[in-house]
Amino acid sequence: MSVDLSLIERSACEVVDLLREETVSPHDLLDTLAAQIARVEPQVNALPTLCFERAHAHADALLKKPVSERGLLCGLPVPIKDLTDVAGVRTTRGSRVYRERVPETSDAGVTLLEARGGVVYAKSNTPEFGSGGHTYNSVFGITRNPWDLSRSAGGSSGGAAAALASGTAWIAQGSDLAGSLRTPSSFCGVVGLRPTAGRVAYGPAANPFDTLGIHGPMARNVTDAALLLDAMCGEVVSAPLSLSEPTTSFLEHARQPQRPARVAFSEGLGIATAEPEILAICRQAMDRLTNAGIGVEQSDIDLSAATHAFHALRGVAYAANYEDVLAQHRDVLNPNVIWNIEFGLQVDNRAMVSAHRTRGELFHKMNALLQHYDVLICPAAIVLPFPVEARDIRDAAGKHFETYIDWLAISYAVTLTGMPVIAIPCGMSASGLPVGIQIVGKVRGEAALLSAARAIEEVIGTWAVGKPETA
């Protein structure tokens, strides 16, 4: 067993360089992660399912190949969200319905990631069927925020974000619908990228033409997120919307940061109001950009029409995926999941027509704005990480929310536009909790977005390099 906890502090790109130099082996990394997991997992509960035996076997197979044939990640360990199948590994989707389920085959995205040299060693925690911005379920319980164990890690990729923040992952796979990559990134002080639909393929899915729910990378910094995006992207035969790999890697774009000339800043996209401390921290970040010579202008973009459209489209997606589950297992489902499915089953044709029309209008509005600006920036979450006992947020900044997901409107409004968006840390609250911003890029513009995000990161700094409570 070779454990070197100093490796935990290294970036994913640095660790891959060490793997290519054969200074360390994938087994060394797995042993180090196992030691760190033993230290912090009892408090955090980010990675409830471990598969180290499988991971070491995969590492053995990789090491039989020349270094040049070990793929982009070259043996770097990566956890997979518990919504996504990994062959031979318990995959529960956070639900008692599937608490003992062990799939025989992996999701196509996992297969692709492993072919690029990723070594799967764990499943990250998620709310049941990914239904919410707080990671808890009846199978594995609550995932806690490494910066303050009494606080939420966000959701639904909360386990992935908490693993990154507590040093039990260098990179992590996640997924996003209402902000499931972005909210936990903001809460845990890490980076989450929601790419263009089809950029990261997965499947086979019940609805392979869905453009709301996507998979994407999480990491501790923008460059590492670009590395994982490269490893995740590419055409997959079972995913009809999947896009081909770019001719120039996303990592190369991130390593050549280009400061945006013009930045639009919105405090709430016309649909949300963030708490005063969050707004103050975001404004301070914009001041740093201005002082660095980047033109920041206030935007009056109004995406308030997103709420009804998103509810209709999201509800129908839940009904399409889980109607049979509701019919057979209502007694063991989270009430929020039941509400999601039943809401979707009640959406009528007129509501769907309106939702699709509204989504088109929101896209055109965002697209028009980004013809004049390089990126749009707004808060990634409207509240600080909240106590884990609260299952969701119903009131914030003087506003009451009708549903358990409407506090996520600042992220789900961006989802409807279809634009790529990345969440990065931008500061810390007075109580020592991370705060993040969303940076929205142009249509299919992940390359330029990553370059701009890296330049912004250089100006405003990163806040995930300190010592969380568990480290």
Question: Which contacts qualify for 15-21: CB closer than 8 Å, 24 or more apart?
Answer: 15/76, 15/170, 16/72, 16/73, 16/74, 16/76, 16/227, 19/70, 19/74, 19/75, 19/76, 20/67, 20/74
Return the half-sphere exposure (C-beta side, CA atoms, 13 A cut-off) of residue 99: 11
pLDDT of residue 462: 76
Q: Which residues contact 364 (CB under 8 A, 6 or more apart)?
A: none
Instruction: Measure the CA–CA gap between 380 and 390, rounded to whole angstroms.
Output: 20
pLDDT of residue 413: 98
What does 354-392 look like in DSSP terms, one character per residue?
HHHHHHHHHHHHHHHHTTT-SEEEEES-SSPPPBTT--S
State the DSSP code for 243. Answer: P
- By the 8 A CB rule, do 123 and 81 touch? yes
| Closest residue by Cα to residue 444 from 223, 200, 218 | 200
Q: What is the sign of the dihedral through the CA atoms of 447, 452, 458 and 464?
A: negative
State the DSSP code for 7. Answer: G
- By the 8 A CB rule, do 163 and 169 touch? yes
Examine residue 379 and say whether the peptide bond preceding it is cis (omega within 30 degrees of 0).
no
Q: Model's pTM, two decimal places?
A: 0.98
Instruction: Measure the CA–CA gap between 232 and 200, rounded to whole angstroms.
Output: 6
Terminal Cα-to-Cα distance of the chain (whole angstroms): 21
pLDDT of residue 465: 43
Q: Which H or E run contains 263? A: strand 262-265
Residue 378: strand pairing partners: 438
pLDDT of residue 271: 98
- By the 8 A CB rule, do 20 and 122 touch? no
Q: Which residues contact 354 (CB under 8 A, 6 or more apart)?
A: 308, 309, 312
Instruction: Measure the CA–CA gap between 203 and 109, rounded to whole angstroms.
Output: 7
Domains annotated on the chain, with CATH: 5-460 (3.90.1300.10)
Q: Which residues contact 276 (CB under 8 A, 6 or more apart)?
A: 397
Q: What is the sign of the dihedral through the CA atoms of 28, 33, 35 and 36?
A: positive
Instruction: Measure the CA–CA gap between 466 and 234, rounded to whole angstroms.
Output: 35
Positions of the chain with pLDDT lower than 70, given as ranges = 1, 463-471
| Closest residue by Cα to residue 153 from 192, 187, 193 | 187
pLDDT of residue 305: 98
Q: Which H or E run contains 180? A: none
| Residue 169 three-state SS | coil
Instruction: Measure the CA–CA gap between 381 and 154, rounded to whole angstroms.
Output: 10
- By the 8 A CB rule, do 254 and 139 touch? no
* β-strands 144-145, 395-396 pairing: unpaired
Residue with tokens 């040049």: 68
Question: Which contacts qualify for 399-403: CB closer than 8 Å, 24 or more apart?
Answer: 399/273, 403/311, 403/339
